[in-house]
Chain A
Amino acid sequence: AQSVAQPEDQVNVAEGNPLTVKCTYSVSGNPYLFWYVQYPNRGLQFLLKYITGDNLVKGSYGFEAEFNKSQTSFHLKKPSALVSDSALYFCAVREIHNAGNMLTFGGGTRLMVKP
């Protein structure tokens, strides 16, 4: 079975400060990991993914995430937050040999960036 945990329901950060949105996962084998962002009343937008290779993955809008196998984490980071980054962020995992290609999503973390 595969699962994802996002321990923080909400993260508050001031504009210009660095932000981190936490994600830990559990899979029986090796993972594919994803971050998506959702704006109000909208679908999900793909931010970045880890499939293989470098543990530090760079994605859209200046976001990056670091895959840490020993800690089974894939935290999302950005060096300098913008008010427009305020949204709902979802981490998702798929075990590599999951034949159904099913993604399992975390519960989501609401990011609030204040001016």
Chain B
Amino acid sequence: GAVVSQHPSWVICKSGTSVKIECRSLDFQATTMFWYRQFPKQSLMLMATSNEGSKATYEQGVEKDKFLINHASLTLSTLTVTSAHPEDSSFYICSARLAGLETQYFGPGTRLLVL
């Protein structure tokens, strides 16, 4: 099946620093990638939809200047949490969708802890 990786899997950083999370589709080309955030014991909340070569579409309430998304190629999307604060601590999950198909395949997630 389609494999999606995320790096890093864990990150601990100081408040005020920026953190970049990578999402890669390893064995397929993903025209669309999605970024989700999941709080403990809660469901996934879509943050943004990223299409290769174009600007990401952010969901209401998600600050685009805070969460920078770049989808420079068909196999890589990055999420940068700028000037991270403790309230940004969460589990961030990406997914990728094969062109022309409906199923989204999810990465293993990145746990961010901002001290």
Contact = CB atoms under 8 A, between A and B. Distances in A.
Contacts of B109: 41-43
Contacts of B83: none
B18 interface: no
Contacts of B24: none
B106 A43 contact: yes
Given A90-B44, A100-B57, A102-B46, A43 B104 contact: no
Interface in A64-115: 90, 94, 100-103, 105-108
B104 A105 contact: no
B78 interface: no
Interface residues of B, number: 24
Interface of B is mostly: strand
Contacts of B57: 100
Interface centre among B32, B44, B49, B93, by most chain A C-beta atoms within 10 angstroms, is B44
B43 A108 contact: yes
B43 A105 contact: yes
Nearest to B111: A41
B1 A100 contact: no
Interface string B74-115: 000000000000000001010101000011111111010000
Given A49-B103, A51-B102, A105-B44, A43 B108 contact: yes
A34 B105 CA distance: 11
B41 to A, nearest CB: 8
A94 B34 CA distance: 14
B46 A34 contact: no
Given A101-B49, A101-B97, A46 B43 contact: no
Contacts of A106: 43
A30 interface: no
Given A41-B109, A44-B95, A49-B102, 6 more contacts: A41-B91, A43-B4, A43-B106, A100-B49, A106-B43, A107-B43
5 contacts: A34-B104, A51-B102, A94-B102, A105-B44, A108-B43
